[in-house]
């Protein structure tokens, strides 16, 4: 692209960005003004994509990690021919528009991931790059041969999650991951010198990255750097683009250009500086459209489709991308457990993972340095810098937050089924990324073990109390806490078939007695009646996980005292509460006193037990002691639960 055409494209992106922000009276013009030059070079000459098929599996992935600059990607998508009109740009940040304030996956064609919380985009991109290399080494470059491109800001690199994810990317040698760093030395409060003075380039070099530093406003320098980055096959690349935030505006170089509209007069001055008509808003020259259209994308996609048809493993590739959870659940050799035995649910989960792995060669995942404790070793080789083909085990190290974001990237890329694991109490380290799984409706499997105070001697720092409550507060997260090994199998089957959001599988360290396998129809409802007296019960005991067996023992104690107790396992409250009132009433009969029993915070149970019932749990921190001593001290014994049940009956 010659320099005049480049300027036409870049200036159009700048103009559209400031016009949209002005129209909304809200937004971030500084970043699009600063990165328009680099983005123009990338999209015009390097990005492999086809707007006619935004989900083409072999497209390049573009991630705007600096999601506050969302008008940059919206302008690019419009000019490149995606289904995003000028009217959509005019409705930037408005109710129901397709141009929300930060890019949202599933909302706008061409947006590969939801960004906004800084550090998330670049970390998610690491997962995309892992998925690409795994499939390229499995099926060959004929079917998988693309790159992952990221635009990241100072804020992205300040967030701790980016340290975690980029360290792993360097360790794995993800040579097709390329990051354009908007090195403008400005954050919201002013110069980055206020708080961010480390040598960022040396940091990335130490993490095993290929590092370049260029003038981000020089298109020739940008093109040369992108060419060098693409040529790197064994190291990810960081291209530090020295830019001026708010370039060409009266606020150039100032933090004042970051997060507020320029306003009519400054917009006018900016357009004059760019050589544009100051009286025209949302003006798009045809030359800019033509230049940013993906001229090679359609032919590249057509050639790829032809190769797919002729490829000896083309059917396998398609199954990786389209195989349903129902089909996989039907193929997997699920374990079963006979009543009379006992097993920790984390060990039952380990058997389930191996069953899925035997039926799904694209199952990949791992643990935050806790594989033995979490039961996540599926018996497949580890991913290493030298080997991805045939691997299945990712070693995330002690990087819970990046692990969750990488799982999102694996899922978003397509073609793999990810799972990740840690102790339940460390969900707090992952929560922002799990929240994005929920928002993007990505079916990530989150495995959490050591689920309560009954993990024992590690004490309060490792014993989750409020964590289940916090997880259940997340919209679109299904939290499964099975009562035994057989419920663990049934829960995993339900999770495997879910396509519209993530699931958390919450598991015990300690052994639990095997119960009878649940009816799949009951499991789908999130509720299993484990004990139901022939006559109308006097009290209903509700529980999850390890506390179900405790309630069954308590029911026997009550029976000996002339009190009939119904016991209900509620492995998934989200499923149960989604039932209609008649179905819920059939399981929890109205008018009969209820006691909930869960080794955690009681707040989330109070609406289920009602004013006459009792939520029995733990509303303080745990204890450091053997599990049996903790149970006795906190009242988690059959006799204590029976006493609580009698108290709600007034006896």
Q: Residue 53: its pLDDT value, please?
A: 97
Report pLDDT digits (tens) over 486-508. 999 999 999 999 999 999 999 99
- Evaluate if residue 359 carries a pLDDT over 80: yes
Q: Using CA atoms, how far apart are residues 283 and 268, in angstroms rounded to an integer?
A: 13
| Residues annotated catalytic, as ranges | 400
| Residue 421 to residue 371: CA distance in whole angstroms | 8
Q: What domains does the chain contain, in order, with CATH numbers?
A: 3-299 (3.40.50.970), 325-513 (3.40.50.970), 527-648 (3.40.50.920)
* Average pLDDT estimate for 318-338: 94
List Cα–Cα distances, 633 to 41, 110, 452, 454, 456, in angstroms: 66, 56, 14, 12, 12
Give the 3-state secondary structure of residue 183. Answer: strand
CA distance 142 to 404: 30
Q: In 535-638, which ranges are E strands?
A: 539-543, 565-569, 594-597, 614-616
Distance from C-alpha of 451 to C-alpha of 427, rounded to nearest angstrom: 11
pLDDT in tens, 576-622: 999 999 999 999 999 999 999 999 999 999 999 999 999 999 999 99
Q: Are 642 and 554 in contact (CB under 8 A)?
A: yes
CA distances from 310 to 57, 143, 315, 320 (A): 16, 11, 10, 17
Element housing 169 (H / E) = helix 160-172
Q: Work out the angle at residue 298's Cα, subtended by the Cα atoms of residues 296 and 299, and round it to the nearest 5 degrees.
A: 65
Q: What percent of the chain has pLDDT over 70?
A: 100
pLDDT-based confidence at residue 217 (cuts at 50, 70, 90): very high
174: number of CA atoms within 13 Å, CB side?
Answer: 29
| pLDDT for the residue numbered 294 | 80
Backbone angles phi, psi at 41, to 5 degrees: -60, -45
Which is it for strands 528-531 and 565-569: parallel, antiparallel or unpaired?
antiparallel
Give the model's pLDDT for residue 303. 98
pLDDT for residue 370: 98
For 445-466, what is the mean pLDDT?
Answer: 98
Confidence bin at 194 (pLDDT 50/70/90): very high
What is the C-alpha to C-alpha distance for residues 609 and 590, in angstroms, rounded to an integer? 10
Q: Which residues fall within 8 angstroms of residue 66, CB to CB, at 6 or more apart? A: 31, 35, 115, 118, 121, 151, 152, 153, 155, 156, 182
pLDDT given for residue 651 in this prediction: 75
State yes or no: pLDDT of 331 exceeds 90: yes
Kindly tell me if the per-residue pLDDT of 536 is higher than 90. Answer: no
Q: Is the pLDDT of residue 431 over 80?
A: yes
CA 550/CA 150 separation, integer angstroms: 51
At residue 535, the pLDDT reads: 79
Residue 69 DSSP label: G
**Tokens, residue 646:** 């009698």
Q: What is the mean pLDDT of residues 364-379?
A: 97
In angstroms and rounded to an integer, the radius of gyration of the C-alpha atoms of the chain is: 28
Angle 120-139/160-172 helices, nearest 10 degrees?
A: 20
- The C-alpha atoms of residue 73 and residue 155 are separated, in whole angstroms, by 18
Is 80 exceeded by the pLDDT of residue 236?
A: yes
Number of CB atoms found within 10 A of residue 103's CB: 27
Average pLDDT over residues 259-283: 97
According to DSSP, the residues that pair with 242 across neighbouring strands are: 183, 215
pLDDT at 219 over 80: yes
Do 29 and 119 form a contact (C-beta atoms < 8 A)?
A: no
Q: How far apart are CA 329 and CA 334, in angstroms?
A: 8
Give the C-alpha separation, 402 to 120, whole Å. Answer: 8
The overall average pLDDT reported for the chain is 97
For the segment 292-317, the average pLDDT, to the nearest whole number, is 96
Q: Where are the alpha helices (DSSP H) in 311-383?
A: 314-322, 325-331, 345-359, 371-374
Q: What are phi and psi of 531, to 5 degrees?
A: -155, 130
Range 459-468 average pLDDT: 98
Residue 262 CA to chain centroid, in angstroms? 34
In 3D, which of 364, 448, 467 has the Cα closest to residue 409? 364
Residue 517 has pLDDT above 80, yes or no: yes
Tokens coding 182: 């908007």
**534 confidence band (pLDDT: 50, 70, 90):** confident
pLDDT over 80 (residue 152): yes
More confident residue, 384 or 651: 384
């Amino acid at each position: 692209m010659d320099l005049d055409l480049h300027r036409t494209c870049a200036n159009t992106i700048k103009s559209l960005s400031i016009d949209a922000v002005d129209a909304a009276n809200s937004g971030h013009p500084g970043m699009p003004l600063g990165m328009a030059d680099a983005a123009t070079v990338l999209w015009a000459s390097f990005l492999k994509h086809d707007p006619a098929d935004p989900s083409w599996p072999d497209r390049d992935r573009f991630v705007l990690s600096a999601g506050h600059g969302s008008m940059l990607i919206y302008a690019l998508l419009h000019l490149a021919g995606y289904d995003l009109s000028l009217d959509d740009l005019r409705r930037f940040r408005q109710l129901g528009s397709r141009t929300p304030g930060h890019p949202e996956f599933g909302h706008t064609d061409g947006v590969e991931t939801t960004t906004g919380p800084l550090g998330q985009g670049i970390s998610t991109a690491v997962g995309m790059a892992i998925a690409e290399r795994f499939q390229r080494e499995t099926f060959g470059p004929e079917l998988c041969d693309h790159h992952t491109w990221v635009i990241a800001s100072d804020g992205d690199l300040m967030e701790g999650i980016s340290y975690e994810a980029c360290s792993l990317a360097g360790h794995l040698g993800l040579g097709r991951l390329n990051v354009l760093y908007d090195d403008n030395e400005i954050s919201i409060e002013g110069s980055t010198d206020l708080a961010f003075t480390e040598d960022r380039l040396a940091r990335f070099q130490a993490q095993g990255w290929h590092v370049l530093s260029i003038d981000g406003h020089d298109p020739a320098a940008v093109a040369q750097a992108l060419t060098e980055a693409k040529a790197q096959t064994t190291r990810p690349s960081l291209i530090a683009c020295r830019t001026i935030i708010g370039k060409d505006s009266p606020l150039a170089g100032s933090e004042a250009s970051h997060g507020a509209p320029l306003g009519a007069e400054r917009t006018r001055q900016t357009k004059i500086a760019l050589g544009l008509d100051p009286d025209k808003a949302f003006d798009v020259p045809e030359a800019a459209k033509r230049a940013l259209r993906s001229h090679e994308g359609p032919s590249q996609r057509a050639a790829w489709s032809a190769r797919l048809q002729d490829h000896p493993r083309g059917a396998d590739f398609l199954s990786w991308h389209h195989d349903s959870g129902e089909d996989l659940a039907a193929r997997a050799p699920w374990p079963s457990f006979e009543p009379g035995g006992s097993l920790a649910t984390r060990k039952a989960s380990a058997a389930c993972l191996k069953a899925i792995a035997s039926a799904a060669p694209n199952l990949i995942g791992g643990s935050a340095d806790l594989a033995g404790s979490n039961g996540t070793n599926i018996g497949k080789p580890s991913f290493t810098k030298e080997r991805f083909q045939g691997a299945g085990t990712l070693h995330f190290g002690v990087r819970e937050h990046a692990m969750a974001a990488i799982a999102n990237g694996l899922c978003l890329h397509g073609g793999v089924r990810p799972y990740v694991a840690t102790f339940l109490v460390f969900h707090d380290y992952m929560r922002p990324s799990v929240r994005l799984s929920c928002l993007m409706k990505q079916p990530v499997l989150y495995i959490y073990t050591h689920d309560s105070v009954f993990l024992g001697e590690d004490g309060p720092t490792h014993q989750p109390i409020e964590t289940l409550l916090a997880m259940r507060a997340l919209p679109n997260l299904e939290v499964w806490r099975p009562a035994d090994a057989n419920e663990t199998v049934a829960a995993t089957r339900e999770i495997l078939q879910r396509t519209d959001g993530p699931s958390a599988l919450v598991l015990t360290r300690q052994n639990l007695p095997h119960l009878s396998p649940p009816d799949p129809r009951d499991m789908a409802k999130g509720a299993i009646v484990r004990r139901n007296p022939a006559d109308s019960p006097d009290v209903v005991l509700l529980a999850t996980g390890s506390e179900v067996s405790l309630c069954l023992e308590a029911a026997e104690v009550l029976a000996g005292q002339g009190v009939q107790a119904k016991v209900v396992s509620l492995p998934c409250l989200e499923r149960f509460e989604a039932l209609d009132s008649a179905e819920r009433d059939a399981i929890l009969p109205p008018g009969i006193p209820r006691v909930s029993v869960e080794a955690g915070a009681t707040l989330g149970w109070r609406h289920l037990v009602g004013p006459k019932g009792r939520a029995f749990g733990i509303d303080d921190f745990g204890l450091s002691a053997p599990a049996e001593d903790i149970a006795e001290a906190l009242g988690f014994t059959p006799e204590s639960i029976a006493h609580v049940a009698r108290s709600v009956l007034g006896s």
